[in-house]
Amino acid sequence: MSHSKLYIVPTPIGNLEDMTLRAIRILKEVDLILAEDTRTSSKLLNHYDVSNKLYPYHQFNEHKVVTALTERILAGETMALITDAGTPGISDPGYLLIRECVKNHITVDCLPGATAFIPALVNSGLPTDKFFFEGFLPHKKGRETRLKYLSEIPYTIVFYESPHRLNKTLAQFMTHFGPDRRASISREISKLHEETIRGTLQEVTGHYQDKTVKGEIVIIIGQME
């Protein structure tokens, strides 16, 4: 393995079998694995007999450690960045370290692999030729302004949402996008209780009303018609 390289390694968002053979090999070969939560990642690594060193890299420490990690890679170490689930950098830590490596002419190799919004988008039955990835909306400040802006976008829109905010978010979507806008909601992707609910915003909102929902959620809003 060549030195002075950062590997971006996607990890399963549900089913552990979604790990690629290449990802497992890279995690065994690098000098250090940077993990969002070392306890969570240890379970995955143990499953695949990866006994490499783990170093915490998350949103609360990334500003403090990014320079030191970049210097270590420049000095000849190879590192792999993983998060709790999915592809690093997509609504997860990763951007700062990748940016620093690029600035310092360090090779960054991003492996293809699991990410929640692609299967949710493809499975939605809504147009996929052009789409806008929003991810998580602001919780409070700027949320209404952002929704007003998004309501004018003529493409399919992809959102991430947590279960305890789902009903509130769907009610706001009804207001800004209209009850007849097509939508699809996917949760527990690649897990045992995976489900996708499709219909108008009014229909999917009615489905989840007064229900206790678990698992990370991807909401797909169809194009304006």
Quick: pLDDT tens for 42-60: 999 999 999 999 999 999 9
Q: Which of 160, 174, 163 is nearest to 205 (CA)?
A: 174
Helix (H) or strand (E) holding 110: strand 107-110
pTM, entire model? 0.92
131-152 confidence digits (pLDDT tens): 999 999 999 899 999 999 999 9
Q: What is the mean pLDDT of residues 189-208?
A: 96
Q: Are strands 182-187 and 54-56 parallel, antiparallel or unpaired?
A: unpaired
In the prediction, which pLDDT does 211 show?
A: 86
List, in order of start, the domains of the chain with CATH numbers: 5-110 (3.40.1010.10), 117-221 (3.30.950.10)
Sign of CA dihedral 219, 16, 115, 125: negative
Q: With contact defined as beta carbons under 8 Å apart, do 137 and 159 qualify?
A: yes
Residue 1 pLDDT > 70, yes or no?
Answer: no
